[in-house]
């Protein structure tokens, strides 16, 4: 009977392997519709790995497949470095009517643009709940000499420095850093790939990066990217540049996210 048992065991093993999660086939070309909401396709590369879009208000979107080199975090960091490579130092003071100087007001506009960007990112953190256990949890609010306030709660960390008008806010995977020179919004989270809702392993990622500041070249108000796909690559990345207001729920960013999710399989 041993041969029969061995055959049955082998059959069960093969069945389990067939039912397990398979490695998704790497995307070789993009699906670039002629339009996506307010975005209209302007060009597409012959190899299908890059296509460009534009909106009526002048926003530019480049959708591309990006190979993962050195891991997904290193690949995303390289994208940020490339986007911010051409910045020019912003002046710290501005001339007044009587010939004097006053502090530049770039920080106020940057913070407002960052708030708009954070609204769009809010849905990515809407599933996060913060609960404070009065007996075992840790809640801390500290104001230090010099005007620095630190707030530490489970899942929420805020550092606000009144001296130089900067703020660093972290809520789950979302991080907002704002100051006089500009504002940065980042979000990175592990997700399941499309069709793998029951897979305990999250083999995909979604990430967002937005920078707004007056040191951007060519009159751009903000630059950034939306990325998604399997961690092993390639990632679907939409690089966004705009000379108009920052992204919010009523502008182009929802259309950008749809393009990335469609092509990234997340």
The proportion of the chain whose per-residue pLDDT surpasses 90, expressed as a percent, equals 38
The answer to whether 190 and 10 have CB atoms below 8 angstroms apart is no
Measured distance CA(173)–CA(74) in Å, rounded:
17
State how far the alpha carbon of 2 is from the alpha carbons of 5, 11, 12, 16, 255, in Å. 5, 14, 15, 21, 60
Q: What pLDDT is stored for residue 82 in this prediction?
A: 94
Is the pLDDT assigned to residue 97 strictly greater than 60?
no
The proportion of the chain whose per-residue pLDDT surpasses 70, expressed as a percent, equals 61
What one-character DSSP code corresponds to residue 219? G
Lowest-confidence segment of 78-82, 135-139, 199-203 by average pLDDT = 135-139
Which domains, from first to last, does the chain contain?
A: 28-86+113-123+181-264 (3.40.1000)
pLDDT, tens digit, 9 for 90 and up, residues 249-262: 445 678 999 999 99
Query: Which tokens sit at 110?
Result: 């940057």
pTM of the model: 0.70
225: helix, coil or strand?
strand
* Cβ neighbours, 10 Å, residue 208: 27
Nearest to 178 by CA among 245, 238, 111, 259: 111
Measured distance CA(40)–CA(185) in Å, rounded:
26
Q: What pLDDT is stored for residue 87 in this prediction?
A: 87
Lowest-confidence segment of 21-25, 26-30, 66-70, 131-135 by average pLDDT = 131-135
| Local confidence band at 79 (pLDDT 50, 70, 90 cut-offs) | very high
Q: Write the burial class of residue 9 (CB in 10 Å: 0-12 exposed, 13-18 middle, 19+ buried).
A: exposed
Query: Which tokens sit at 182?
Result: 């500009």
The answer to whether 224 and 62 have CB atoms below 8 angstroms apart is no
Is the pLDDT assigned to residue 263 strictly greater than 70?
yes
Measured distance CA(3)–CA(18) in Å, rounded:
23
What one-character DSSP code corresponds to residue 136? T
Report the pLDDT averaged over residues 190-200.
92
What are 101's strand-pairing partners? 95
Spell out the long-range contacts of 39-48 with Cβ–Cβ below 8 A and sequence spacing 24 or more: 39/252, 39/255, 39/256, 39/259
Q: What pLDDT is stored for residue 139 in this prediction?
A: 55
Average pLDDT across the chain, whole number: 75
Report the pLDDT averaged over residues 98-104.
46
Better pLDDT: 60 or 136: 60
pLDDT, tens digit, 9 for 90 and up, residues 102-138: 444 444 444 454 455 555 544 444 443 333 333 344 5
206: helix, coil or strand?
strand
Q: What pLDDT is stored for residue 143 in this prediction?
A: 60
Better pLDDT: 151 or 207: 207
According to the per-residue pLDDT averaged within each range, which of 24-33, 225-234, 238-247 is highest?
225-234
What are 41's strand-pairing partners? 53
State how far the alpha carbon of 187 is from the alpha carbons of 63, 105, 121, 179, in Å. 19, 26, 8, 18
Nearest to 31 by CA among 232, 265, 226: 265
Is the pLDDT assigned to residue 64 strictly greater than 80?
yes
Better pLDDT: 182 or 99: 182
Q: What pLDDT is stored for residue 138 in this prediction?
A: 54
Considering only CA atoms, give the Rg of the chain: 23
């Amino acid at each position: 009977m041993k041969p029969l048992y061995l055959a049955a065991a082998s059959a069960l093993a093969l069945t389990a392997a067939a039912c397990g999660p398979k490695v998704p086939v790497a995307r070789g070309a993009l699906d670039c519709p002629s339009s996506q909401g307010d975005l209209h396709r302007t060009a597409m590369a012959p190899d299908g790995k890059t296509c460009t879009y534009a909106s009526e208000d002048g926003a530019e979107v480049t959708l591309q497949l990006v190979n993962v080199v050195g891991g997904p975090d290193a690949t995303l960091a390289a994208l940020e470095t490339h986007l911010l490579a051409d910045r020019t130092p912003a002046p710290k003071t501005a001339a007044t009517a009587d010939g004097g100087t006053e502090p530049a007001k770039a920080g106020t506009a940057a913070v407002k643009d960052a708030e708009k960007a954070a609204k769009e990112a809010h849905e990515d953190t809407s599933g996060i709940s913060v609960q404070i256990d009065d007996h075992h949890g840790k809640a801390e609010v500290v104001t230090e000499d010099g005007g620095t306030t630190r707030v530490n709660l489970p899942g929420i960390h805020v550092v606000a420095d009144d001296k130089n008008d900067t703020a660093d806010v972290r809520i789950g995977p979302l991080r907002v850093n704002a100051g006089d020179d500009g504002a940065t919004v980042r979000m990175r989270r592990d997700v399941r790939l499309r069709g793998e809702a029951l897979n305990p392993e999250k083999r995909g990622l979604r990430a967002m990066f937005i920078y707004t500041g007056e040191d951007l070249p060519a009159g751009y108000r903000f630059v950034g990217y939306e990325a998604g796909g399997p961690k092993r690559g390639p990632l679907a990345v939409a690089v966004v540049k705009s000379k108009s207001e920052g992204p919010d729920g009523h502008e182009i960013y929802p259309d950008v996210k749809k393009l990335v999710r469609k092509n990234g399989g997340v």
